[in-house]
Amino acid sequence: QVQLVESGGRLVQAGASLRLSCAASGLTFASSTMGWFRQAPGKEREFVAVIDWSGGSTGYADSVKGRFTISRDDAKKTVYLEMNSLKPEDTAVYYCAARHTHIVSFPYWGQGTQVTVSS
């Protein structure tokens, strides 16, 4: 049974930094691709960042490039999202997702952690 648990979300001021964590269990983390998505009020869930199984390949949405960094720690079975220069438009519930190699979609999702950025 795969379980993803996000943590780290909180209320911060615009311009602040925040690091989200996602602890994974029930899957072979070292062979998994991990992603972060977010859903803002009144909007659809959108892609934020992804990191492949090796940690050597990452991808970001244009809206967060240069500000957010995704990383992983296989020993801790945890994926991180470091967020800098946060903007009010970054306010959303942030979700962690996981999939194994050659799977096109992310079948495993966490329950999300709320990030609120005040102006």
pLDDT at 104: 81
% of the chain surpassing 90 pLDDT: 87
Q: Is the pLDDT of residue 65 over 90?
A: yes
Spell out the SS3 assignment of the chain. CCEEEEECCCEEECCCCEEEEEEEECCCHHHEEEEEEEECCCCCCEEEEEECCCCCCEEECCCCCCCEEEEEECCCCEEEEEECCCCHHHCEEEEEEEEECCCCCCCEECCCEEEEEEC
Q: Is the pLDDT of residue 103 over 80?
A: no
Query: What mean pLDDT comes out for the span 107-117?
Result: 97
Q: Is the pLDDT of residue 43 over 80?
A: yes
